[in-house]
Structure 1
């Protein structure tokens, strides 16, 4: 899969370059050349069609919240605007997340990994059920939980992770065979581990042309 292309919109040139470096350091993401005004942001989005826009509220020619209103692209707010009304307006106008400055590279990486899980969960063909919708929302809402202390792994979770330790992508059935549990049990643990970012999911098409999920350790 190609990298997700990310446009950073921030009028502080040095901050924008720093955030671009943060983005480029996350596997699966590539920063486009940052822009510093709403007008340039709209032109660049129209011309390059990025996958994700990281948008500041405070821009010299227009509020980033007003830019957000007209976008037809995924957007996350990276801003020092800590007013509750700015946060609420961003959510009303479609922002997928809101990260307050200053933040660390690890903070942004956690948000981007959550976004990548969100995209993977919605990449499957066909319609969604409520479980898929809830998992996609958790991927975004729980994106920064990666920075929290890890809870203790259960024995089955540890065994599932050990099964993937070779680096080879495995199906749920293959993991079940290695661990010695049912396919349904392996699938349940793999889904939970994918939600917390420990496991990544890739879609592969077999000889029959039917898609199959393959699982591997994240990173």
Structure 2
């Protein structure tokens, strides 16, 4: 991806919003554009920030996130403790791409975001769609291993192969490397390495780990999957 997808997080609990923000920031290719704590702030933030994706709660202090949903002209994933069938059906009827029940862990959200990235990349590359492309995009959006398996295999570029070899490590012992370390080994810029690593992570060939340094800021480490 040449540019990160921007994300607006809507949740009335500041601590929960901060936690979800850290989850989003841990996924390469995504940037948190802002937060909103209620329905009114959500609409104002949407119009000022124009995010690619909104992570939207159902329960808001001044209204329902489901009412906000139908006013948002962008992609939306619902993150909510609302576990009733009526809310779920209404969310999908009003255009939500996914519905993730609280509480959830970072990998649960990361999987949805990676699926969203695959979905967007497939559509952004297409000049026109046939039914096969429509089904491929739908499978990508559903996410999980099924989407990876269902998608047709593609040929790795020379740079991707070199990056995977670098992640294989010495004597076949896998290593978890930062984007900068990969860039130095492969002989490309950090931005280029990051772009290829993100694509490989989306395809399931590379896993992403978080390592916290002395400043507390997480560093992404990439490891080749078996």
Q: Are 1:165 and 2:165 matched, yes or no?
A: no
The answer to whether the Cα contact below 8 Å between 1:197 and 1:218 also exists between their aligned partners in 2 is: no
SS of structure 1 residue aligned to 2:135: helix
Q: 1:20: which partner in 2?
A: 21
Question: Residues 218 and 19 of structure 1: is their aligned pair in 2 closer, same or farther, counting only changes over 3 Å?
Answer: farther
Q: Which runs of structure 2 are paired with 1:66-215 in the superposition (5 Å)?
A: 66-141=67-142, 143-145=143-145, 164-167=160-163, 197-198=203-204
* CA deviation after TM superposition for structure 1 residue 84, in Å: 0.7
Q: 2:194: which partner in 1?
A: none
The answer to whether the Cα contact below 8 Å between 1:79 and 1:99 also exists between their aligned partners in 2 is: yes
- Distance in 2, matches of 1:46 and 1:161, equals 40
* Structure 1 unmatched ranges of 5 or more: 152-156, 169-192, 201-216
Question: What is the total number of aligned residue pairs between the two structures?
Answer: 168
- Distance in 2, matches of 1:125 and 1:98, equals 26
The answer to whether the Cα contact below 8 Å between 1:11 and 1:36 also exists between their aligned partners in 2 is: yes
* CA deviation after TM superposition for structure 1 residue 50, in Å: 0.3
- Distance in 2, matches of 1:78 and 1:71, equals 15
* CA deviation after TM superposition for structure 1 residue 34, in Å: 1.3
Cα root mean square deviation, aligned = 3.0
Question: Residues 126 and 28 of structure 1: is their aligned pair in 2 closer, same or farther, counting only changes over 3 Å?
Answer: same
1:167-218 CA distance string (max 9 Å, x none):
28xxxxxxxxxxxxxxxxxxxxxxxx98x83269xxxxxxxxxxxxxxxx99
- Distance in 1, matches of 2:11 and 2:77, equals 12
1:89-132 CA distance string (max 9 Å, x none):
00000000001111100111000000000000001242111111
The answer to whether the Cα contact below 8 Å between 1:198 and 1:218 also exists between their aligned partners in 2 is: no
SS of structure 2 residue aligned to 1:8: strand
- Distance in 1, matches of 2:56 and 2:102, equals 12
Question: Residues 99 and 109 of structure 1: is their aligned pair in 2 closer, same or farther, counting only changes over 3 Å?
Answer: same
- Distance in 2, matches of 1:162 and 1:47, equals 39
1:143-166 CA distance string (max 9 Å, x none):
2448xxx99xxxxx7xx6797431
When normalised by structure 2's length, the TM-score is 0.67
